[in-house]
Amino acid sequence: MPPALSFAQVRRRFGRLAVLGGVSASVATGEVLLVTGRNGSGKSTLLRCLAGLLAPDSGTIDYSEDGAPMDAAARRRRIGLVAPDLAFYGELTAAENLAFFSRLRGIGRERGDELLRRLELPPDRPTAALSSGMRQRLRWAWALLHRPRLLLLDEPFQNLDAAGVAIVRRLLAEHLAPSPAAAGAPGLAVVANPVPLEIGSVAGNLDLGA
């Protein structure tokens, strides 16, 4: 099966600091690429490049959706991100936040409501009043809202209690290999974490070291 995501020689520096020094890998559908490395080794930078939030200085990133390259609009439809610095509108509730993004993406409210239920999020509390664990669950809900093909997960279990971890593991498994009853094609994921995580379907490890 052709890789659904591949990147080659991606470099990014900030001033004098070379954060990414030419990294390459590829991921196929149904697989997880695990990116590990110490703090500051460039894991988040790599994920941001893959998400289109940062432009690499050089190198290529190919998202082959049936062989055709993706433009920015398609990337927005196909990519979901969970990251520690992702934040939502504090004065709006979790439900309102998801409703806003649902409207933006042109999808109905049902998916947002379903995710709120599954992640056991209090729908009517302002997001600013949520605990850090709840906020992490909201990030997961937001990332999965539009049923993306590619999940980029930066420290995905951060702040989650055991119950939360169990829920998101199940969601990730469903993302990678949806049951026949569920809609959608299988997805893929890139997971960044300081230490290796026990996640099913890890097909490879990119260690940025340092």
Q: Does 182 bind other proteins (CB under 8 A)?
A: no
Rg of the chain taking only CA atoms, in angstroms: 17
Binding mask 66-95 for other proteins (x = CB under 8 A): ---x-xxx--x--x-x-x-xxxxxxxx---
Cβ 164 to other proteins shortest distance, Å: 20
Binding mask 113-152 for other proteins (x = CB under 8 A): -----------------------------x---x------
Range in contact with other proteins (rule: CB under 8 A) among 5-13, 116-124, 156-164, 193-201? 5-13
Q: Does 156 bind other proteins (CB under 8 A)?
A: no
Report the DSSP pairing between strands 17-27 and 79-82. Answer: unpaired
Show the tokens assigned to 130. Answer: 């949520």
Cα(73)–Cα(79) distance, integer angstroms = 10
Cβ 17 to other proteins shortest distance, Å: 5
Show the tokens assigned to 161. Answer: 């209690």
Q: Are 48 and 190 in contact (CB under 8 A)?
A: no
Of 153, 156, 35, 141, nearest to 98 by C-alpha is: 141
Q: Does 6 bind other proteins (CB under 8 A)?
A: yes
